Amino acid sequence: MHSRLNPANLVICEYCDAVYSRTPLKRREKAHCLQCGGELYRNAHVDIDVMLALTIASAILFVIANCYPIVELNMSGLSNRATLWDTLLFTLDSNVGVIAVFAAASAFFFPLIQILLFAYVLIPLRVGRKPRAFIGAMHALREMQPWSMVEVFMLGAVVSVIKLTAVAAVAPQIGLWGFATLTLLLTVLSSFDLHELWDQSEALDA
């Protein structure tokens, strides 16, 4: 029979329920499940400085990406340019308004809230304190993750630009580069394992 192990030293594969005892990993190492190949955990120390730097950079780029037009279109002397919000408001007024609600959530509100929550969680952790609403903020971050789609919007903007070059003069604007960079930053930021932030916050309680 198994002797009772200390649960704090265990990790359970979320894909197949296999139980392992944790071993320390080197930097950039990942532990994978032997049974199903799923990722168990990464090197135990998330670098809060790096995450915070990425969060601040994302916040700046989020403002740039949203304040400047993404594309400008010229046709027979007329021109139209669109920011993300122009797109959302125009779509809301169209016959498919429900699409605008979805697009606003996945390309604007969820990424914005993610950036703000990361700042809310990371700044106190950086100075060795645990924010008051840590639990709620961490749950919100986890639940929003799959519905935040800046990268898909970004690819959609590129596809639109190329589609339009066939019929009109299209000029990509600062907003497009803003979104491209924001996509990169958010991809790196969300690749950090939130489980490790939980572990670090617990160390503060002790």
Partner 1 sequence: MNSSSRARDLKLISCHACGLVLDNREELSHARCTRCDEHVYTRKPNSLTRSWAYLIAATILYIPANLLPIMLTTKMYNTLSSTIVSGVIDLWQDGAWDLAIIVFTASVVVPILKLGLMSFLLISTQRRSTWRQRERTKLYRIIEHIGHWSMLDVFVVALLITLVHFNKLALVQAGPGIVAFAAVVVLTMLSSMSFDPRLIWDTDEPKPHTPPDNGQTNG
Instruction: Scan residues 163-192 and list those touching partner 1 (CB under 8 A).
Output: 163-164, 166-168
Residue 16 sits in the site that holds partner 1 (CB under 8 A): yes
The encoded tokens of residue 37 equal 């190949």
In degrees and rounded to multiples of 5, residue 160 shows phi and psi of -60, -45
Cβ(42)–Cβ(193) below 8 Å: yes
Per-residue binder mask for partner 1 (CB under 8 A), 109-128, x = binder: --------------------
Tokens of 124: 């106190």
Q: Which is nearer to partner 1, 70 or 125 (CB)?
A: 70
Closer residue to partner 1 (CB): 19 or 50? 19
Dist. CA 182–CA 185, nearest whole Å: 5
Q: Which is nearer to partner 1, 47 or 202 (CB)?
A: 202
Closer of 159 and 174 to partner 1 (Cβ): 159
In the complex, least distance from residue 35 CB atom to partner 1, rounded to whole angstroms: 6
Long-range CB pairs of 87-90 (<8 Å, 24+ gap) are: none
Distance of CA 162 to the CA centre of its chain: 26
91 is an interface residue for partner 1 by CB under 8 A: yes
Extract the tokens encoding 54. Answer: 């990425």
Of 42-50, 109-117, 121-129, 152-160, the segment contacting partner 1 by CB under 8 A is: 152-160
Q: How far is CA 72 from CA 152, 158, 169, in A?
A: 20, 13, 8
Pairing of strands 30-32, 39-42: antiparallel
Nearest to 194 by CA among 143, 123, 129: 143
In the stretch 45-84, what mask flags binding to partner 1 with x, by CB under 8 A?
Answer: -------------------------xx-x-xx-x-xxx--
Q: Do 138 and 197 form a contact (C-beta atoms < 8 A)?
A: yes
What are the residues binding partner 1 (CB under 8 A)? 2, 7-8, 10-12, 14-20, 34-38, 41, 70-71, 73, 75-76, 78, 80-82, 86-88, 90-91, 94-96, 98-100, 102-103, 106-107, 135, 138-139, 142, 146-147, 149, 152-153, 155-157, 159-160, 162-164, 166-168, 194-195, 198-199, 202
